[in-house]
């Protein structure tokens, strides 16, 4: 018999970094250029067979067009058990913004232990960059340490790179905190 857990993840980051596209790719397996799923869609559901004994019902919340303040209300974060914080690798200002988003998150929600909820940084649109691995790796390793991210993934909603992997990693971390 399988056990069923319900997990809630939020996806945050600046406008245009690819949040809706990541959700659409993760949930529907699709990417549509210029597709704006966040209009009128606040959350999506996905069922994951984590292992032979565990089924996870994942709710994924999109901030649905409220990015301009780089702050969300405490109510919005209340149910969050994990976060994907997204930036666009072609726009360095969105990496700085990721740190502001993460601070906002950590001041408004934490685990019962007082630790930050598990959060993963997504360096999205990696299909658009040339490979300058060493630089990116050391910058993002340091950034994750400074901003209390568990880890980072290069991702592309367009080319389906590391979206499932990042989602699965976060769910596993959330189950450990449960």
Contact positions vs ligand GDP (CB under 6 A): 15-21, 33-34, 36, 38, 124-125, 127-128, 156-158
Minimum CB separation from ligand GDP for residue 49, in Å? Answer: 26
Question: Contact at 8 Å (CB) between 62 and 44?
Answer: yes
Number of neighbours of residue 42 by Cβ within 10 angstroms: 12
Instruction: Choose between 18 and 116: whose C-beta lies nearer to ligand GDP.
Output: 18
Instruction: Choose between 56 and 155: whose C-beta lies nearer to ligand GDP.
Output: 155
3-state helix, strand, coil in the chain (%, to 5): 35, 25, 35
Question: Contact at 8 Å (CB) between 155 and 124?
Answer: yes
End-to-end CA distance of the chain: 20
Residue where the block lists tokens 């930036």: 87
Minimum CB separation from ligand GDP for residue 165, in Å? Answer: 14
Minimum CB separation from ligand GDP for residue 97, in Å? Answer: 11
Instruction: Choose between 8 and 20: whose C-beta lies nearer to ligand GDP.
Output: 20
Instruction: Choose between 54 and 91: whose C-beta lies nearer to ligand GDP.
Output: 91
């Amino acid at each position: 018999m399988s056990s069923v857990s319900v997990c809630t993840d939020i996806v945050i980051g600046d406008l245009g970094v690819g949040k809706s596209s990541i959700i659409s790719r993760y949930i529907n397996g699709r990417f549509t250029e210029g597709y704006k799923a966040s209009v009128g869609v606040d959350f999506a559901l996905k069922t994951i067979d984590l292992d032979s004994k565990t089924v996870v019902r994942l709710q994924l919340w999109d901030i649905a067009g409220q990015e301009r303040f780089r702050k969300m209300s405490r109510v919005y974060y209340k149910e969050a058990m994990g976060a994907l914080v997204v930036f666009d690798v072609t726009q360095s200002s969105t990496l700085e913004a990721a740190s502001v988003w993460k601070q906002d998150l950590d001041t408004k929600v934490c685990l019962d232990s007082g630790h930050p909820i598990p959060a993963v940084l997504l360096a999205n649109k990696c299909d658009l960059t040339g490979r300058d691995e060493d630089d990116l790796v050391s910058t993002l390793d340091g950034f994750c340490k400074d901003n209390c991210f568990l880890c980072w993934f290069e991702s592309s909603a367009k080319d389906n790179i590391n979206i499932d992997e990042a989602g699965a990693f976060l769910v596993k971390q959330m189950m450990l905190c449960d």
